[in-house]
Amino acid sequence: MAQTVNVAELPLQQLEALRSQLEQETDFLTSSIQQLKLVQTKYVESKESLNKLSKKNAGKDVLVPLTSSMYVPGKLDDVDHVLIDVGTGYYVEKTVSEARDFFKRKVDFLTKQIEKVQPALQEKYTMRQTVIEMLNMKIQQMAALNSSQSGTTKA
């Protein structure tokens, strides 16, 4: 069960630790969303690439990627089936229509995951801003207190 802490009651050192923790959490959530969006984009691109597979393109010359920057020439032979990378070095053969459904499900799943993470990120960001404002306020209070104390010791 989560407990509520009044940040105004926390000492400066704990506020700084909380700010640091919240900053790490917002960085992690931001990175997670970016990674989810990157994977989502790859699935969308793969789904769109399926549109190029048609009977009229059968037998046409294509470049087959061996690495991300090296290609070899080839011919488009089977326009009815594709191999899909399902992770950890495994590939599954699917028809073009099955592949479209697969990519649609993956994109939908990733969209839902992003929608789950974004509110948590917003909440952490808001909490971080609150802690930063409280930190600044306490630092200003300490500075004002120190300047008033140094002014009274001179008199």
- Residue written as tokens 């407990």? 3
| pLDDT of the residue at 34 | 97
Q: Are 34 and 113 in contact (CB under 8 A)?
A: no
User: Checking phi first, is residue 36 left (phi over 0); if not, alpha (psi -120 to 50) or beta?
Assistant: alpha
Is the per-residue pLDDT at 127 higher than 70? yes
Q: Which amino acid is at 120?
A: A
| 63, β-bridge pairs | 73
pLDDT in tens, 15-54: 899 999 999 999 999 999 999 999 999 999 999 999 888 8
Q: How far is CA 7 from CA 1, 122, 132, 135, in A?
A: 18, 18, 10, 9
pLDDT in tens, 59-84: 899 999 899 899 999 998 889 999 99
- Domain boundaries, given as residue ranges, for the chain: 18-146
Strands (E), the chain: 61-67, 70-75, 81-87, 90-95
Overall CATH class of domain 18-146: mainly alpha
Take residue 82 and report the two structure tokens written for it.
């594709």
pTM: 0.76
